[in-house]
Amino acid sequence: MSSVLNQHVLVLNRLWQAVNVCTARRALTLLFQGHAQVVLNRSDGSFQTFNFNEWHHLSQDEPHPESVATVSFRIRVPRVILLIVYDHVPKKEVKFTRHNIFERDQNTCQYCGKTHDRKDLNLDHVIPRDRGGPTTWENIVCSCIECNTRKANRSPQEAGMGLIRKPKRPKWRPFVQINLTLHQHDSWKHFIDLAYWNVELGEEIR
């Protein structure tokens, strides 16, 4: 039973936005405490929500193989839960790392626009460091070795080179904290797709 209780459940906030993944054990606890409802995808494509008592009755009326037994009854393991009062999305910022700069710039030189393997890319200070250029999201870009050599210790204007896009701090995407390498239940697809298409992603995603 412990393996069933450790299975993953998608967590939606009050606005039906995917914000996290928890264990089935945690989901059932939130359901029992009245902090969450189960979201069930019906065969007609609609979604129905259930509080603890309603979910308990459904579990008895429609036995399901993905259920766990308590001392007095069996209850179906939910796959998606809706938090009743929580309407926030994660406010974390994307970490300022070499990997994330490559991700933002799509492994593309920001001067010539050519895509390269990461081993053939450098990180360039748009305004050189010795000119007071900071090491920040807004002043670091991917650059191929050829463009980096050509630009040397000059500003793009001085080198006669233009940026294909202005570097920006990436925006945090709520669904990113969901580990998408986890096994995803079919019922997650609608909400993950909704997050993918409707959350403002910033320019780093094609």
pLDDT tens per residue, range 91-101: 556 778 888 89
6-26 residue pLDDT tens: 888 988 888 888 878 888 999
CA distance 181 to 163: 34
> Would you say residue 136 lies in a domain?
yes
Mean pLDDT, residues 119-129: 94
What pLDDT, on a 0 to 100 scale, did the predictor assign at position 201? 34
Mean pLDDT, residues 143-166: 95
> Would you say residue 154 lies in a domain?
yes
Q: Is the domain of 80 the same as that of 178?
A: yes
Q: Is the domain of 103 the same as that of 33?
A: no
What pLDDT, on a 0 to 100 scale, did the predictor assign at position 181? 47
Q: Is the domain of 81 the same as that of 13?
A: yes
Residue 199: is its pLDDT beyond 50? Answer: no
CA distance 17 to 195: 7
51's CB contacts (< 8 A; 6+ apart) are 31, 34, 37
Q: Is the domain of 105 the same as that of 81?
A: no
> Would you say residue 167 lies in a domain?
no
> Would you say residue 206 lies in a domain?
no
- Domain of 106, CATH number, reads 1.10.30.50
Instruction: Using pLDDT thresholds of 50, 70 and 90, give the confidence band for residue 45.
Output: confident
- The values of phi and psi at residue 189, to 5°, are -55, -45
> Would you say residue 11 lies in a domain?
yes
Per the prediction, the chain carries an average pLDDT of: 82
What pLDDT, on a 0 to 100 scale, did the predictor assign at position 88? 60
Q: Is the domain of 56 the same as that of 74?
A: yes
Instruction: Using pLDDT thresholds of 50, 70 and 90, give the confidence band for residue 74.
Output: confident
Domain that holds residue 125: 98-159
> Would you say residue 203 lies in a domain?
no
Q: Is the domain of 74 the same as that of 14?
A: yes
Q: Is the domain of 70 the same as that of 109?
A: no
Q: Is the domain of 53 the same as that of 113?
A: no
Mean pLDDT, residues 103-118: 94
Radius of gyration of the chain (CA): 24
- The values of phi and psi at residue 141, to 5°, are -140, 160
Number of domains in the chain: 2
Q: Is the domain of 17 the same as that of 70?
A: yes
Burial of 45 (0-12, 13-18, 19+ CB in 10 A): exposed
Mean pLDDT, residues 104-127: 94
> Of the ranges 1-5, 87-91, 105-109, which one carries the lowest mean pLDDT score?
87-91
Q: Is the domain of 25 the same as that of 72?
A: yes
> Would you say residue 205 lies in a domain?
no
What pLDDT, on a 0 to 100 scale, did the predictor assign at position 134? 93
Q: Is the domain of 40 the same as that of 73?
A: yes
Q: Is the domain of 8 the same as that of 79?
A: yes
Residue 120: is its pLDDT beyond 50? Answer: yes
CA distance 25 to 68: 10
> Would you say residue 82 lies in a domain?
yes
